[in-house]
Structure formats: structure tokens, C-alpha cells
Structure 1
Amino acid sequence: MTPPAALIHVVDDDTDHLAALSDLLDAAGHAVMGFTGGAEALSAAALRAPDAVVTDLRMPGMDGMALLAALREAGLAMPVVMLTGHGDVQHAVRAMRAGAEDFLEKPYDAAHLLAVLARGLETAATRSELLRLQTLMQLREAHPILGESAAMSALRDRVAALAPLDVNVVVTGETGTGKELVARALHAASPRAGRPYVAINCAALPEALFEIEMFGHAAGAFPGAQSDKAGKLEAAGGGTLVLDEVEALAPALQAKLLRALEERQVERLGENRLRPLDLRIVTTSKTDLPALVRAGGLRADLYWRLAGADIETEPLRAMGQDIILIFAHYAGLAARRYGRTLPETGFLERRALLAHPWPGNVRELKAAAESFALGLGRAIPTGGDAAPAVTGTGTLPERLAAFEAREIRAALERFSGNTDLAARALGLPRRTLNDKMNRYGLRS
């Protein structure tokens, strides 16, 4: 049986057959969209790609073969099942060579059609998962995103899913959460990896220099322009352009950028010639851009041009034990770079790493790791302990809990985080100690 809830586009100029086939697929548990022409189906697929297409071969205007070719040209690899009432073997061979999943003659057996769809959907799902895993491996090798937490795993999966797609991406998150790393990872694992990677900080771009920097200029366009110069958009040709803090651009500059992106061509200052653009844009920002659009600080049409997909980076404080892993990574890099012996990260250091809120996120952690590797005094911040403090106030259960947390923390410190020895000293079963550590936010 075919997987439920697959989105199937049915295309047939015969409205009676279109309705009957749509009812069949709907009864099989699929979401169905019906179209009486190939051009209409192609436009819908550009907005939201279906999981499979079932199309008649002979239709006025864009027929089934033309629709198949257009879908493949657009980079859409979903299974396409071709139907015909003419039984033309030559057409069948052409369709299969062009990438059709199968070719069925009307009247077809309904069960056979569903089986063909099931096979095609299963093959497509397997191919998609294989591509995701291959991209993930490529991603790890090119620009590793460190961490084993659920947040970091989800981030890696999201980057791996989007990297092969030629879609613009908006990356948002707090300062220092690795937005540039994500942008580089998207480029490194994309088909554009061998082409230029160009980044521009829009907040640092003077308004008077915007057109020169973004669009370039011709020789003699202004005093001092002795030669032609390509702008950032052209320089990223075939590759990836990263726009950092695009919301900092003045409204008039946002409009100029939008026009170039919509027309996919640029005109250098002082030159009466349009140059085509072929690039992918990754936008990075620490601002909630949809909220900024609603407030009128960013053009909605520019945002939607940039936001083909989105990625949100998590703050470091949400990473749990990954904080220790990332700290060790940067400390090791610094030790090798400066030829130093890396000091041991003991229990007290690990506890301090987990207790600190890291308002500067990975950027702050990296600086601390480098100072630690160089032995420059107290490199690891000493934020408040995760466990509650012991005071003489509060209810009796609260004071008992604080006392218990203090004793467990002391035992862990005494045995350098060894929970077996700590549990033995406290007279607790290992599982009970683990439960209490989780309750009080303690780490071994």
C-alpha cells in the first residue's frame, strides 16, 4: 500500500477521468490536487512540489512529455506516471528514457496504478534519504557542526536537507551562535561548493557606496574609477552570496537590491548593459525578521525573496553537554596552533562551563577555550551553580532539597565526577543518585 498523506498531482484534460482518478487516490489515503493542463500543474509544483505526478500523455498546450521535461529541468525529481489511451510503444520508451516512473495504458487496473505509485514513492523516499546522508557526510567533512545534542542534530539535518537545494535561506539566531558557520556549511555541501563564497556586512556598508559595492562600476563612471570592477552580486556568480544584517539597509537600498534579485541581472554604475546573475543568497541576522517586516523595518517583498527556507540557530545555553565538547574542540585547536600542552579539563571546570549562561554564545566560549589552552589565568567563567543555594529561609522541604543538592555536589567534587564512587559514599543506589542529579540540575 502506498504511504498515506502523499501529495499527488493528477493532470488530465478529460474532466471525468480527472475526477474519477482523484477520487481513487483520495480513497487510498493521499492528498490530491487536480489540473486540466500541464502548465497549471507546473506552476503549482513550483510553489509546493508534490510527492508524485500522474499525468495524461496527450493534452492540448503542454502535454505529459513536456510537463515531465519541465519538472526535471526545474530540478524536481518526484516520480511521474504517464497515462495514455493510445498504447503507443514509442511514446512509452520516450517517457521512460526521459525519467518517467512508468507508462500505463487506459483503461488501467486501479490496483496496478496504486502499486506503481507505491513503488515510486518508496524509491523516491529512499533516494531522498540517501542524498540526505551523503550531504550530511559531506557537511561533516567540509564544515563540521559540532555537538550531539538534539538541537545540534536537528541543525545538521536541516542544513543537510537544504544544502543541495538551490533555494535562498534565511539564518537567524543570537549573536555568536554560528550563523556564519551555517552559511559556509550550506555553501560547502551544495552544488555551488566549487564556486565563489562572498559575504557582505550590510550594516557596515555606507549608503553612498552601496551601488558601487553591490553592482560594481565601469571605468570612468566617477573620478578615480580607472578600470571596470564587478560588484558583490557579480563576484558571487555561480556561488553563494551571504547578506549579513540586510535589515540595516535603508528602504531605498532595499528596493534596489530587490529589483536586482527579481530580475536576476545587474547593471554596473556608468554602464548601459545588463549582466545576468546566477547565485544563491544566504541571509544571516540576529533580528526576528518577520516581526521587523510587520513593524515596517524591512520590505515584505524583499524578505520573501530571501526567505525560500529558514534555519534558526540555538543559543549555547541550550546545548547541555555539547558545551564541554565544543569547548574542548576550540581549546585543542588553540593548543596545537600555539604549540602548548592542553591542560586537563577537570570536574570543577566542566561544572563551571555548564553553569555559565554564555551570553556571548560560541564566540564567548571560543575566547574562553583559547585562554584556557594558553594558561592565561581564570579562563572559564564561574557563573552560579545549577543547584539551589542553602539558606536558612524557605519551607522545610525546600531547605532539605537544598541540603541534599549541596551534599551530592560535594560528593561529586570529591570523586571528580565519578558517580559510582559518589553513590557509594552517599549510601545511595546509582539510579537514585542519577535521578536526584537530574532533579537538581547537577552534572558529573
Structure 2
Amino acid sequence: MAVLFVVDDDTDHLAALCDLMQAAGHVARGFSGGAAALAAMETPPDLLITDLRMPDMDGQALLTAIKAGAGDLPVIVLTGHGDVGHAVQAIRAGAEDFLEKPYDASHLVAVVARALAARATRTEVARLQQIIAEGAAATILGASRAMQAFRAGIAALAPLDLDVVITGETGTGKELAARALHAGSPRAAAPFVAVNCAALPEAMFETLMFGHAEGAFAGAGAARPGKLEAAEGGTLLLDEIEAMPLALQAKLLRVLQERAVERLGENGLRPVNIRVIATSKIDLQAAVAAQTFRPDLYYRLAGAVLQTPNLRVAATDIPLIFSHYSQLAARRYGRADPPLNFMLMQHLKDRVWHGNVRELRAAAEAHALGLYDGRGDDVPMLAEETLAEKLAGFEKREIAAALDRHRGNTLRVADALGLPRRTLNDKMRRYGLISDG
């Protein structure tokens, strides 16, 4: 049973919407304005539904304030006719989804259920990642020369209080390497704080990174430390730093040079004692040459540089990594360890793994459930399908993968797949990817 906040200045609509959510099995608390809902956030809900146009604090301002605090709280925005442009802005600011009034009640119930399920999945993934993080160094698998050299590099750098840049292709374990550096350092008992630079809203950068004083801006509430202060004594991970705009790079550089932050609304500096690790999917020196990354920030961060090996240079490790993750998945789901044979191993080594270890791990977990359709004798093969069935299967897998990538946000999925939103919803119903009730 989920707790929902429902915000609308129209009292009749607010009451009807709360009744609908109660009938769907949730606990609904109604608020006649954004300020009242924000004041009740001391005990945050599982999801919030808000109207966009309201006096005083509108839905957009409420969304911004929520994302500055409880950033993972799913927010669904309801809009009137002609407000779709504003709703798109809300999506870009972090809203989970939006519905235009008048909306279909069963569709809203389905959207709420999907958003709650997506959040539950993210929470579970975070829990599993924490388990992995506790033994981070041990989970950097591989016996190849490339992986042995990489582990040796981590072991050599971990005790040194140097800032480090980790580069590598997607799925090669850059964050895992960062956690291993932290775990092997004298800072291991202090916090490890990860910041996804690609998801940092530019307007909220200073508040999120540097913190703010009490009442520094409308809706600010009590004083809050930023990410840098939260990492005090420990390690700050700047993930996908290549995505940070140049203007924000300049602000970050000043703080890293001084090792001190000035909270928004304050005049004094607060010293911070942190180690900074930055990860990037691209060569930052090439980005410097292309003038998309500040050279002074690069040299400030690059006390040392590590590059994570991809599976092309560590191909001999593929069977070991696949076996490890398939066994872990089997135990997690209460299954027997899945058998591995020569044909399957050969297929794994011959396949091109564009997503590297992340993609290999997904295949291993599917194998543990008997769902990986590789060429091994131990893998169940499907009966011959018609062309129409194959096309439908492909379409369903692509839509499901896009829903995963975009956390169930149908607006973003429709845009990514080049489909009208109504067409996408029809296909989702046809393939059982959405519930009408």
C-alpha cells in the first residue's frame, strides 16, 4: 500500500482524485496547494500527483523544490488543455510523467502503478549495488593480463590521496573501480558520495553541490549541505563528468582549487576534506582539445588516470564473468547453478559485447532464469516463429528496453522510438506492457 500526495487547488477534483487513488488501494493525502504539500514532506510519500496551474506555488515550482530535496520521489503532473509545452518542461525537470485533462481514470491508475514499480526497482537495484560495493575490489573480475594490470593500478593508487580520472567505454565498471579505490584508501570508513553529472539540472547545480542556507530561496526550508560537504572525509565521485556544461565546470574548478564551498545564501567558506574521482566515457584530453572540457579542470582532477579494460582486450575473461554473474543470479532467485557448456562459451566469446560487462551480466542473469537464447545445448530454444511473430517479439523487446532506459516515462519512450504517444500506449497494451486497471 503506497502513500500518495495529491495536490490541486480545485477542491472537487482533489476529492475525486483522492477517492480514485484510495479505490486503487493507495493511501491518498490531499493538499490544496504546493506549499502545503511541501511542508508535509518531512514524512515523504511514495509518489506525488500535482496539478500544473495553481496560485502561489504552482506544480513546476513544487517539482523543482521536491527534486532539490527528495530527488527520487516520482512526480506525475496533470495539465489542462494547452499546457502541454509546460508539461514537457516539467518532464525535463524530472517529472515521471504527465497526463492532459480530461484524463482516463484507469490510465492514470496504470501510470501511478508503473511509476511506483519503477521506483521499487530502482530501490532494489540500489540495495544490490550496495551489497556489491561492500566487496567492490573483489568483484573486479578477470584473470586476463589486462584485468590483472588494471587491478594492480587500483591497488597502487588506492592508498594515495590523489584525485583520479577513470575513463572507459560504457559498461566497463568505472564506478566499481571508483568504489574499489575508495575501499582501499584511508578514507574507506568515511562517505562515498556519487553524483551523476549528466543528470544535474543547471539551475539547481549550486544548491545540490554546495548546499544552501536557511531560507536562501523560496521553498528552501532548513539549511542543507551539498554533495561536497556530504562527502567530508571521504570520496566524491563525479560520474560522467564529460556531460557537465562548461559554465558549471568553472564553478566546480573554483571549489576544487580552494577545497572549500560557499553555501547559497551564505558569505563564508566552509572547508571540505575530500578525494575526488571523476569518470568519463570519452577521452577527456580529446575533449580538452575539442574545447568541450576545461583544461584547468582536467589537470586539477587528473592526479592519476586509469582506463577500464573493455571485453575486446579481456575476451578470455568472458566465461569467468558470465559464470560468476549467472551463479549469483541463480542463488538470488533460488535456482540451481545453471550449466555451462562448450558451445555456449564459444558463442559468448564470439559475440560482440557493445555494452561490455554490463551487457554480459544481463545475459548471464537471463541465462540463470533459462531465458538467454544463445547457442548452448543447455539453453531452451523457441519453436519456429512466423515472420509476423518475430517482428512482434522484436517490437515488444525494443519497447520494453526503452521503458527500462527511460524509467517508464512514456513521453521520453515515444520520442526515442519515433512513435506518437497514443500509438505507443496501444502497442504497450497489445504486448501486455501496461495495465488498464
- TM-score band, normalised by shorter chain: 0.5 to 0.7
Shift of 1:140: 7.3
For structure 2, the 5+ residue unaligned runs are 1-133, 378-437
Q: Distance in 1 between matches of 2:375 and 2:147?
A: 23
Question: Is 1:305 matched with 2:333?
Answer: no
Shift of 1:141: 7.6
Aligned to 2:241: 246
Query: Alpha carbons of 1:192 and 1:276: their partners in 2 closer, same or farther (altered >3 Å)?
Result: same
> Which one of the candidate residues 344, 354, 373 is aligned to 1:349?
344
Aligned to 1:359: 354
Aligned to 1:280: 275
Shift of 1:377: 4.6
Aligned to 1:326: 321
> Which one of the candidate residues 225, 228, 231 is aligned to 1:233?
228
Residues 393-418 of structure 1: CA deviation (Å, up to 9, x unaligned): xxxxxxxxxxxxxxxxxxxxxxxxxx
Percent identity at matched positions?
A: 62
Q: Distance in 2 between matches of 1:170 and 1:228?
A: 32
**Given that residues 173 and 357 in structure 2 are in contact (C-alpha distance below 8 angstroms), is that contact kept between their aligned partners in structure 1?**
yes
**Given that residues 341 and 376 in structure 2 are in contact (C-alpha distance below 8 angstroms), is that contact kept between their aligned partners in structure 1?**
no
Residues 78-100 of structure 1: CA deviation (Å, up to 9, x unaligned): xxxxxxxxxxxxxxxxxxxxxxx
Q: Distance in 2 between matches of 1:227 and 1:167?
A: 34
**Given that residues 196 and 239 in structure 1 are in contact (C-alpha distance below 8 angstroms), is that contact kept between their aligned partners in structure 2?**
yes
The aligned amino acid for 2:283 is D
Which of the pair has the greater relative contact order for Cα pairs under 8 Å at 6+ separation?
A: 2
> Which one of the candidate residues 172, 177, 196 is aligned to 1:182?
177
Aligned to 1:192: 187
Q: Distance in 2 between matches of 1:381 and 1:317?
A: 21
The aligned amino acid for 1:235 is A
Shift of 1:307: 0.3
Query: Alpha carbons of 1:231 and 1:334: their partners in 2 closer, same or farther (altered >3 Å)?
Result: same
**Given that residues 136 and 177 in structure 2 are in contact (C-alpha distance below 8 angstroms), is that contact kept between their aligned partners in structure 1?**
no
Shift of 1:143: 3.9
**Given that residues 165 and 279 in structure 2 are in contact (C-alpha distance below 8 angstroms), is that contact kept between their aligned partners in structure 1?**
yes
Q: Distance in 2 between matches of 1:381 and 1:284?
A: 36
Residues 346-392 of structure 1: CA deviation (Å, up to 9, x unaligned): 0100100110110110010000000000112515799xxxxxxxxxx
The aligned amino acid for 1:191 is P
**Given that residues 173 and 314 in structure 1 are in contact (C-alpha distance below 8 angstroms), is that contact kept between their aligned partners in structure 2?**
yes
Q: Distance in 2 between matches of 1:173 and 1:141?
A: 18
Q: Distance in 2 between matches of 1:380 and 1:356?
A: 11
Query: Alpha carbons of 1:369 and 1:266: their partners in 2 closer, same or farther (altered >3 Å)?
Result: same
Query: Alpha carbons of 1:316 and 1:142: their partners in 2 closer, same or farther (altered >3 Å)?
Result: closer
Q: Distance in 1 between matches of 2:236 and 2:288?
A: 22
**Given that residues 142 and 317 in structure 2 are in contact (C-alpha distance below 8 angstroms), is that contact kept between their aligned partners in structure 1?**
yes
Aligned to 1:256: 251
Query: Alpha carbons of 1:280 and 1:157: their partners in 2 closer, same or farther (altered >3 Å)?
Result: same
**Given that residues 147 and 153 in structure 1 are in contact (C-alpha distance below 8 angstroms), is that contact kept between their aligned partners in structure 2?**
yes
Residues 277-304 of structure 1: CA deviation (Å, up to 9, x unaligned): 1000000000110011011111100000
Q: Distance in 1 between matches of 2:371 and 2:143?
A: 29
**Given that residues 143 and 184 in structure 1 are in contact (C-alpha distance below 8 angstroms), is that contact kept between their aligned partners in structure 2?**
no
Residues 93-141 of structure 1: CA deviation (Å, up to 9, x unaligned): xxxxxxxxxxxxxxxxxxxxxxxxxxxxxxxxxxxxxxxxxxxxxx978
The RMSD of aligned alpha carbons is: 1.7
Query: Alpha carbons of 1:377 and 1:188: their partners in 2 closer, same or farther (altered >3 Å)?
Result: closer
Aligned residues: 244
Q: Distance in 2 between matches of 1:306 and 1:141?
A: 22
Residues 49-100 of structure 1: CA deviation (Å, up to 9, x unaligned): xxxxxxxxxxxxxxxxxxxxxxxxxxxxxxxxxxxxxxxxxxxxxxxxxxxx
TM-score, normalising length from structure 1?
A: 0.53
Aligned to 2:263: 268
**Given that residues 178 and 237 in structure 2 are in contact (C-alpha distance below 8 angstroms), is that contact kept between their aligned partners in structure 1?**
yes
Matches within 5 A, 1:43-54: none
> Which one of the candidate residues 310, 313, 316 is aligned to 1:315?
310
Residues 210-247 of structure 1: CA deviation (Å, up to 9, x unaligned): 00111000110011111011101110110000001222
Query: Alpha carbons of 1:146 and 1:282: their partners in 2 closer, same or farther (altered >3 Å)?
Result: same
The aligned amino acid for 2:347 is A
Q: Distance in 2 between matches of 1:249 and 1:361?
A: 24
Aligned to 2:89: none
- Provide the secondary structure at the position in 2 that maps to 1:358: coil
Query: Alpha carbons of 1:140 and 1:230: their partners in 2 closer, same or farther (altered >3 Å)?
Result: closer
The aligned amino acid for 1:247 is E
Aligned to 2:364: 369
Query: Alpha carbons of 1:348 and 1:381: their partners in 2 closer, same or farther (altered >3 Å)?
Result: closer
Of 373-382 and 325-334, the range deviating more from structure 2: 373-382
**Given that residues 369 and 379 in structure 1 are in contact (C-alpha distance below 8 angstroms), is that contact kept between their aligned partners in structure 2?**
no
The aligned amino acid for 1:276 is P
Aligned to 2:3: none
- Provide the secondary structure at the position in 2 that maps to 1:317: coil
Larger Rg, first or second structure (1 or 2) = 1
Aligned to 1:77: none
Aligned to 1:216: 211
Q: Distance in 1 between matches of 2:197 and 2:278?
A: 10
For structure 1, the 5+ residue unaligned runs are 1-138, 383-444
